[in-house]
Amino acid sequence: MIDTHCHLDVKQFNKDRDDVIERARQQLRYVINPATDFGSNIRVQQIQKQHRGFVFACMALDPVNFVKQQDRQNEFIELARQHSNDIVAIGEVGLDYYWLPDKKGVQQSNFIAMIELANELKKTLVIHSRNAMEDALEILERHANTRVVMHCFSGNKTQMKRCWDSNYITSFATSICRMGKVLSKSLDLDKIVVETDSPYLNPVSTERNEPVNVKYAIQKIAEKTGTTFEEIEAITDKNAMRAFNL
């Protein structure tokens, strides 16, 4: 199993981060740890060094923090260039109209800047899109020239097919155990991966999530598609390794 998106650097894991990672190591093949703000970019690098070969880092300013830390854009871009050989993706980046509905224009400009950085570094893009799927897809289709993973996919079935037609990977989080309306037997299994978005999006409750719970997303997809856990595990592992060049 591969958890393609978990935030191991956040404060919710401060007391037992090593235990969480060890539990994951016993059951998972890899975990991918995207950054969210400037400080997070430093922390994900530190965690990757401590757990090299198991935890893989991504660097980014997410859409909300990018607006808050707009003055650090150039500093971040230079940092990402310096660590290009140490990261598997630029992410998570994108648009968030839920938290910042009045900042659409600056978010779109920031998003394009991050896409251009990923194109330059030849890195996969990990996309955060909340209440903004149509704009996110339109911008990606115009500007992206690299692999794309749609983190915590929350669009409709038409948008999901649009992603697949563009060869984007849709990532399903453990929250599909509670909210899995887009899941069906018609999933394009070659274009899906799974994630936890730990410590968020717990599959069963409001308790803290962690990477080992990615198995519940695999189980739910297997149920919806009429396949086995082992088949979905093998397919999503293969897709993740291809998407992130692991």
* CB 153 within 8 Å of CB 171: yes
116-138 pLDDT, tens digit each: 999 999 999 999 999 999 999 99
Which pTM was predicted? 0.96
Superfamily of domain 2-243: Metal-dependent hydrolases (3.20.20.140)
In the chain, domain spans: 2-243
181-236 pLDDT, tens digit each: 778 788 999 999 999 999 999 998 788 999 999 999 999 999 999 999 999 999 99
| Rounded distance between C-alpha atoms, residue 46 and residue 92, angstroms | 18
pLDDT, mean over the chain: 96
**Dmax (CA) of the chain:** 49
Instruction: Give the count of beta carbons closer than 10 Å to the beta carbon of residue 173.
Output: 29
SS3 171: strand
2-15 pLDDT, tens digit each: 999 999 999 999 99
